[in-house]
Chains A and B, each alone.
Chain A
C-alpha cells in the first residue's frame, strides 16, 4: 500500500542523502528499517511524512505512492489527513502540555470529534500508565512514559500507517520490551500498518514481518524476518551474535569497511 521507488532526497539542494531508496510496506504488516547512524533512516521517514520540507529537504527523484496516489510532493498536513503519521525520533512530546492535551493534539486533523473521548480511553487501555499521569505536564514524564505518550498520540490520529522512528532510543531494556509488545498489539488489534526504524535490530526483528537494511542512503538487503535472522551478515553486523556479544555500531561499520578494502 505504501511504496517508495528509487527515491532520491537532497537537503539544501546540495547534500544528497537518499540515493535511490526503494521499499514496499504492505497493508497490515510490520516492516522494519534497520541501519546504522547516519544511514538515512530518519530522512526516509521524513520523505514519506512530508516533514522534509521543514528542513529544506526535497525528494528530487523517484516517487512515493500511498494507495495508488503520489504523495512525495504533498505537505505534512495533507499526508496526516491521508492516514500516515510519523512519531518522530526523540519522542518530541509537547513538554508544557499535559498528557491528555498531547493526546488531543494527536487528533488535530480528525473530523469525527465525537469519537475522540473514546479513543483517549483506548490509548489508556494500551498504556495504563498514561491514564494515571493524564494531568501531568508531559515534560516531567520519564523517557519510557514519553515514548508511550508519543505512540499514543500517534494512535489518536487513527492512522492507516504509523511510522515509528527509533522508539527504543535511550530506554532501559525492560521498557523497550514492553513498548515493542504494545506496538505489536496495536498492529494486530487495530490493524495499523507499521514501519519501525531501529538501530536495535534484535527487538525490531522480534516483532516485524519483513525487514530492510539500509546503508549510506540505499537498501543493501531485505527479506522476510525469518530469512534475515538466518543470514550470516545480519547475524554478525546487526545482531552482534558473533564471539564477544553485541558490538557497538561504529565498530561494526569500520570493521565492515576494512573488510571491503581487502
Chain B
C-alpha cells in the first residue's frame, strides 16, 4: 500500500510539472493554432541557464530562478519576433515547420554551449524526507508541487481577471473580432510565447532538481504533447488534469510494470494513451466545443 501511495505522489508531482509545461503548449495553440515543437528546447535552455547561474556563478537559487524567468520571457519574445512573426497569416503548417526548425537550432546551441553529459544541481532543497503517514516525500518533490500550484493559480487569475489575460482569451476566440476591439494581436502572440518559455523553464528547473540535467530533458517537450491532447489542446484546465493523469499513469507503469518487463514501458505509455484518446475522443477530454445556439 505504501508503495502504491509513494508512486501516486511521485506521479502527481511529476505530472503537475507536465501540466505546467503543457500550459505553454496550449497557450500557443490557442493564440495561433500552431503546435510548438520547440517547447522541450525552451525547457532545456531554461534549465541550463539556471544551473549555470547556480553552479558556476554561485548565485542563490531563488535569485537564479528569477533571472531565468526574465531570460526565458525575453527568449520567448525574441523567438516570436524573429522566427514566428513572419508566419502570421500564413498557413499554420508553415508555422509548425518553423517551430521544428527552431527546436533543432536551440538543441544544437545547447549542445555546443553545455555539452551533453548529465549534470546535477547543487543541493538546493534539504534532503531530509518529509514523513506523511506512510508516505515519505523528498523535499524537492514537495517544493515542486508547491511551486507548480502557485504558478497555476497565478496564471488562472491572470486569464480570468487581468486585462491582458481577457484579451488573450478573446483573441483565441475570434482573432479578427479581437483586432476590431483595438487589441494588438501581435502583442498577444508575443505574450503567449513569453509565457510558454517561462513555464517551460520552471518545469525544466524542477525536473532538473529531481532527476539531474542533460539534453534528454527536452523529450519532455514531446511528452507534453499527449498531455495537451489528452486535455483537449485548447483547454487550460484540460492541460492541468491531463498532466496529472499522465504523470500518475507513468509513475504506476514505472513502479509496477517496468520491473516485470525489464523497463522502458514508462516512456512509451503516454503515447499509447495518446493514440487511444485520439481514437475515442478526437477533441480530447476537455476540447473546446463550438457553441451552437438552438
Report A's interface with B, CB cutoff 8 A.
49, 51, 54, 56, 76-77, 79-81, 85-86, 88, 92-97, 101-102, 104-106, 108-109, 113, 137, 139-143, 153, 157
CA of A109 to CA of B87 in the docked complex: distance in angstroms? 26
What is the CB-to-nearest-CB distance from A99 to chain B, in angstroms, rounded to a whole number? 13
Chain B 161-204 per-residue mask, 1 if CB under 8 angstroms from chain A, else 0: 00100110110111111111111100000000000000000000
Does the CB pair B180–A105 fall under 8 Å? no
The total of chain B residues at the interface (CB under 8 A) is 22
Task: List the count of A-B residue pairs having beta carbons below 8 Å apart.
Answer: 82
Does the CB pair B167–A142 fall under 8 Å? no
Does the CB pair A94–B174 fall under 8 Å? yes
Residues of chain A within 8 A (CB-CB) of B183 are 77, 105, 108
What is the CB-to-nearest-CB distance from B85 to chain A, in angstroms, rounded to a whole number? 15
Does the CB pair B181–A105 fall under 8 Å? yes
Does the CB pair B179–A76 fall under 8 Å? yes
Whether, in the assembled complex, B58 has its beta carbon less than 8 Å from a beta carbon of chain A, the answer is no
Whether, in the assembled complex, B288 has its beta carbon less than 8 Å from a beta carbon of chain A, the answer is yes
What is the CB-to-nearest-CB distance from A142 to chain B, in angstroms, rounded to a whole number? 7
Does the CB pair A96–B180 fall under 8 Å? no
**Contacts known (A104-B166, A105-B166, A139-B293); A96 close to B288, Cβ less than 8 A:** yes
CA of A139 to CA of B289 in the docked complex: distance in angstroms? 11
Does the CB pair B176–A97 fall under 8 Å? no
Whether, in the assembled complex, B291 has its beta carbon less than 8 Å from a beta carbon of chain A, the answer is yes
**Contacts known (A97-B173, A140-B293, A142-B293); A92 close to B166, Cβ less than 8 A:** no
Residues of chain A within 8 A (CB-CB) of B170 are 94, 97, 101-102, 105
Does the CB pair B181–A157 fall under 8 Å? yes
Residues of chain B within 8 A (CB-CB) of A79 are 182
CA of A93 to CA of B173 in the docked complex: distance in angstroms? 9
CA of A137 to CA of B291 in the docked complex: distance in angstroms? 10
Does the CB pair A76–B180 fall under 8 Å? yes
CA of A76 to CA of B185 in the docked complex: distance in angstroms? 10
CA of A97 to CA of B174 in the docked complex: distance in angstroms? 11
CA of A246 to CA of B173 in the docked complex: distance in angstroms? 37
Does the CB pair B179–A94 fall under 8 Å? no
Does the CB pair A96–B163 fall under 8 Å? no
**Contacts known (A96-B291, A139-B291, A140-B291); A51 close to B173, Cβ less than 8 A:** no
Ordered by A's residue number, 19 sampled pairs between the chains whose C-beta atoms are within 8 Å are A51-B179, A54-B175, A76-B179, A79-B182, A80-B180, A80-B181, A86-B180, A88-B177, A94-B169, A95-B173, A96-B172, A96-B288, A97-B170, A102-B170, A109-B181, A109-B182, A113-B163, A143-B293, A153-B181
CA of A157 to CA of B181 in the docked complex: distance in angstroms? 8
Residues of chain B within 8 A (CB-CB) of A106 are 181
CA of A69 to CA of B170 in the docked complex: distance in angstroms? 30
Report B's interface with A, CB cutoff 8 A.
89, 163, 166-167, 169-170, 172-184, 288, 291, 293
Does the CB pair B181–A54 fall under 8 Å? no
Residues of chain A within 8 A (CB-CB) of B184 are 77
Residues of chain B within 8 A (CB-CB) of A94 are 169-170, 173-174, 177-178
Does the CB pair A77–B182 fall under 8 Å? yes
Residues of chain A within 8 A (CB-CB) of B177 are 88, 92-94
Q: Please name the residue on chain B nearest to A56 by beta carbon.
A: B89
Residues of chain A within 8 A (CB-CB) of B181 are 80, 105-106, 108-109, 153, 157
Q: Please name the residue on chain A nearest to B179 by beta carbon.
A: A76
What is the CB-to-nearest-CB distance from A58 to chain B, in angstroms, rounded to a whole number? 14
CA of A49 to CA of B178 in the docked complex: distance in angstroms? 13
Task: Knowing that A96-B169, A104-B166, A113-B163 touch, tell me 4 more A-B residue pairs with CB under 8 angstroms.
Answer: A88-B176, A92-B180, A105-B181, A108-B181
Among B163, B173, B176, B184, chain A packs the most CB atoms within 10 A around the CB of B173
Residues of chain B within 8 A (CB-CB) of A105 are 166-167, 170, 178, 181, 183
CA of A85 to CA of B183 in the docked complex: distance in angstroms? 12
What is the CB-to-nearest-CB distance from B255 to chain A, in angstroms, rounded to a whole number? 39
Residues of chain A within 8 A (CB-CB) of B293 are 139-143
Residues of chain B within 8 A (CB-CB) of A51 are 176, 179-180
CA of A222 to CA of B146 in the docked complex: distance in angstroms? 68
CA of A119 to CA of B226 in the docked complex: distance in angstroms? 44
Residues of chain B within 8 A (CB-CB) of A86 are 180
CA of A232 to CA of B169 in the docked complex: distance in angstroms? 50
What is the CB-to-nearest-CB distance from B133 to chain A, in angstroms, rounded to a whole number? 41
Does the CB pair A92–B174 fall under 8 Å? yes
CA of A108 to CA of B185 in the docked complex: distance in angstroms? 12
Residues of chain A within 8 A (CB-CB) of B179 are 51, 54, 76-77
CA of A77 to CA of B174 in the docked complex: distance in angstroms? 16
What is the CB-to-nearest-CB distance from A27 to chain B, in angstroms, rounded to a whole number? 21
Does the CB pair B180–A81 fall under 8 Å? no
What is the CB-to-nearest-CB distance from B289 to chain A, in angstroms, rounded to a whole number? 9
- Which 5 pairs across A and B sit closest by C-beta, in order of nearness? A80-B182, A139-B291, A109-B182, A92-B177, A94-B173
Residues of chain B within 8 A (CB-CB) of A104 are 163, 166
From B173, B175, B180, give the contact of A88 (CB < 8 A).
Answer: B180
Does the CB pair A157–B182 fall under 8 Å? yes
CA of A86 to CA of B177 in the docked complex: distance in angstroms? 9
